[in-house]
């Protein structure tokens, strides 16, 4: 589930660069997705 959201956000972020849409919202969502991804990777290794 997390990987799907991450991939979708990356695609939207790249489309935002191509068509200049979304602005700061896409960048904010991408940063949040990266933080959650890193947190998930760190906590899954401990468990």
What distance in Å separates the CA atoms of residue 1 and residue 5, rounded to the nearest whole number?
A: 6
Q: What angle is formed at CA 33 by the lines to CA 30 and CA 36, rounded to 5 degrees?
A: 155
**Residue whose token pair is 């997390």:** 2
Tokens at residue 46, please?
């401990």
Could you identify the residue written with the tokens 């960048």?
27
pTM for the complete prediction?
0.51
Cα–Cα distance for residue pair 2/17, rounded to 1 Å = 23
Q: What does the alpha-carbon distance between residue 43 and residue 2 come to, in Å, rounded to a whole number?
A: 14
pLDDT at site 45: 75
What tens digit of pLDDT does each residue of 1-47 get?
777 877 887 787 777 766 666 667 767 777 887 888 888 888 887 65
């Amino acid at each position: 589930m997390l990987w799907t959201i991450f991939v979708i956000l990356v695609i939207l972020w790249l489309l935002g660069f191509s068509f200049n849409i979304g602005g700061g919202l896409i960048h904010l969502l991408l940063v949040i997705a990266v933080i959650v991804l890193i947190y998930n990777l760190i906590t899954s290794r401990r468990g």
